[in-house]
Amino acid sequence: MRNLSNAMKKHLTIIILIIFTACQENQETTEEHGIKGLYEYDERVEKLVRKMSLEEKIGQMTQLDFSLLLDSADKKNMYQDPTYKLKLNKELAKELISKYYIGSFLNGIAFSSQNWFEFCYQLQEINLETHPNQIPIIYGIDHVHGANYIKEGTVFPHQINQAATFDTSLARNIGEITAAEACHLGHTWNFAPILDIGRNKFWSRFYETYGEDPWLASRMGESFIKGIQEYNGTKPYKMVACAKHFFGYSDPKWNYDRAPIEIAPQTLYEIFLPPFKSAVQAGVRTFMVNSAEINGIPVHANYDILTKLLRFEMGFEGVVVSDWEDIIRLHTVHKIASTPKEAVYLAIMAGIDMSMTPYTTSFCDYLKELVLEGRIPLDRIDLSVKRILKLKFDAGLFEQPYPTDKFFNKINRTEHQGINLSIARQSIVLMKNEKNILPLSKNQKILLAGPAAHSKRHLTGGWSYLWIATQDNFHPSDMLTLYDAMKKEFQSVELATDINTLRSKANSVSAIVLAVGEAPYAEGFGSINDLDLDKDQQLLIETALSTGKPVIVVMIAGRPRTIPTLYDKIHAMLWAGLPGTQGGIAIAEILSGKENPSAKLPFSYPYKQGKTLPYYHKFSEFSPMHPYQPHDERLRFWIAPFGHGLSYTQFEYSDLILSDTIVGAHVGLQTITARVTVTNTGKRDGKETVLWYISDEYGSYTRPVKMLKHFEKQEIKAGESVVFTFIIEPNTHLSYSAENGETLIEAGSFVLQVGGLSKRFVYAAEPEKP
């Protein structure tokens, strides 16, 4: 600059300052609107994005329902006729793709593997012939408990049952089998797992969760994700998982699905966020967003949650998809957007990458207008498109976009059904067994009654072959109901289809089994005001009790329906949840004693619906003014707490030992090793799940009475002992979240609890520097 005049130097300095200021302002603007989001650079993606038109890019951000590809008559027939064959209307498909370049379709019901293969092949073929840049479609579907939308697919117990096994290897098995059976048919994107915390027992999607505990949900969820995404038995075909519904969705204040949520920030971070953090660490490729509002702000328009938290704090780099129609609902339901177009603006600027519209292309038109008007920068569009294209590259769709019929032999294998039955057996909780009434002798004469006694759909629940099955005709012909299974397991089983029949046959039997619970439901169609079992089924239980015969209740339901006036009167109870297509066999085998029950409740089963608190409640729930008195009818709140589950053998815990009573880096101890001995004191082999809890005696925020921090399940032979070990790592097991998300680990006393035993230890924090 020494050859320039002073005037020129001054002028150039001003220009440089203007440019520098503009760059700073642009950086602040892009950060404010989420444009500077996390994205791992990929040259294949960058090259493709440079070639795409604005319309193509917006098409990649759009997801439509598969029904838009069908004739109008087919949309009705497919839900009524189990033999219906899915038929693609090629003209409709070509029109949507050529005009809007749609990047994703979703949804379905139980069609055959051949039918799915043909449909997805034809759809992809039309897309690649029509799309100017030959970008493959990614198809999304809710295989939430196995390949539940493939007619021949393996349909496992729902997630609430999976959690009751306390076995993460089984969750991984389910992920692997789901991928093996579905990914090669064109089902590349699976909208699972559900990582919402099941605290609200009224919530209609409770059965889709891994229960009320964040540690359990985190471990099961990450195992499922790894199972799906790491499965390589159908190369080059892959499946990507979706962590949903981010986050806090499962605890609506007044119980109804998609209703407003009011949760303290500290609770959101400590209880509801951990499973989603674990999903990111497990490498999950996509997230789906909470449909509701949290503390007054709909999550689909919440930049703090979708960009600051998910992207910047958690480091998620993948695709964020809306839930069903939830962008337009910012206008029609939440009323924070005065027009549908404004709803699109709010959602995209908050951090949504793809809109599950799913029945309209208006999203494409609104988004194009917003870009052309300059309200949404093109960089913001490019960021989402890059994430979506990277997802498609990583899923192998550019390598092999077409499905194949070469892997049909992967579907419904004998070993898959064997694993399915094993999971069902390990998912059913023996809650009560007075005087060891169970197991029943195989030569006993048994009377079976109840609405779930001879029903397939009660065992599988929602999201099984149909979204909500109203009859059994879509279920496999060889699937056994509980009645079918019991007839194979016992010498004499009679079915009572009504109360009068029950009364008339009761005298001739030695025990009555009542299969009660809930018919299938899903989402808002399962919303209830009353957690009590309905009056007709309670009357059925009362009638059975009046006969004087032993009464065993089998609760087949997606949530813990309460029977407060009857629970103490019945002789035994199984919580069967929604145990899937092998559930009838599993229940029958537990009733007969062929299978020794090993499941434990992944939630606290309420006594009455007025107080349905989780096991990790605060100390202040009880005080000197209203102390906990388990035999006081007014203060009895559980019939069984989280972790409860009986066996046909007995386990005794002893010799809880800690390697030290103080831990902390500056005292030279990074961890404490805890050991406990568990002895099978009964006469038969059995599986036991050891649950390790830690209680923080004092904290800056009020602490729960205890929190699960480790679990392990092993089979223990009769008369033998096994030593279980838990290595306590302060950063992992003693920390918790503040209301701003900051991780706190505070010095003080902690109590380790396992199997009724406890030991106190101290965490010594590093002294503050002067």
Check the CA dihedral 613-572-165-414 and report its sign.
Answer: negative
Which of these, 244, 200, 202, 198, lies nearest to 225 by C-alpha position? 244
Query: Which residue among the candidates 196, 257, 323, 382 is catalytic per the annotation?
Result: 323
Output the CA–CA distances (angstroms, integers) from residue 542 to 394, 512, 528, in the order listed. 58, 12, 23
In whole angstroms, what separates CA 422 from the centre of its chain? 20
- Strands, sheet with 429-433, edge to edge from the N-terminal-most edge strand: 429-433, 572-575, 551-556, 511-517, 445-449, 492-496
| Cα–Cα distance, 440 to 588 (Å, whole number) | 10
Sequence-ordered strand ranges (E) for 487-526: 492-496, 511-517
CB 600 within 8 A of CB 166: yes
Task: Give the max Cα distance, the chain.
Answer: 114
Q: How many residues does the chain have?
A: 770
CB 584 within 8 A of CB 614: no
| Cα–Cα distance, 579 to 558 (Å, whole number) | 10
Q: What is the SS3 assignment for 49-110?
A: HHHCCHHHHHHHCEEEEHHHHCCHHHHHHCCCCCCCCCCCCHHHHHHHHHHHCCCEEECCCC
CB 734 within 8 A of CB 708: no
Active site residue 323: yes
DSSP string, 395-445: TTTTT--S--STTGGGTT-HHHHHHHHHHHHTT-EEEEEGGG-PSPPTTSE
Task: Kindly state the DSSP code that residue 272 receives in the 8-state scheme.
Answer: I
Phi-psi region of 246 (alpha: psi -120 to 50; beta: other; left: phi over 0): beta
- Amino acid letter at 482? L
| Cα–Cα distance, 637 to 608 (Å, whole number) | 6
| Segment holding 141, helix H or strand E | strand 138-141
The terminus-to-terminus CA distance of the chain in angstroms comes to: 49
For 342, other C-beta atoms within 10 Å of its C-beta total 17
- In sequence order, what are the residues at sequence separation of 6 or more whose Cβ sits closer than 8 angstroms to the Cβ of residue 645? 164, 429, 430, 431, 597, 598, 599, 600, 601, 689
The residues carrying an active-site annotation are 323
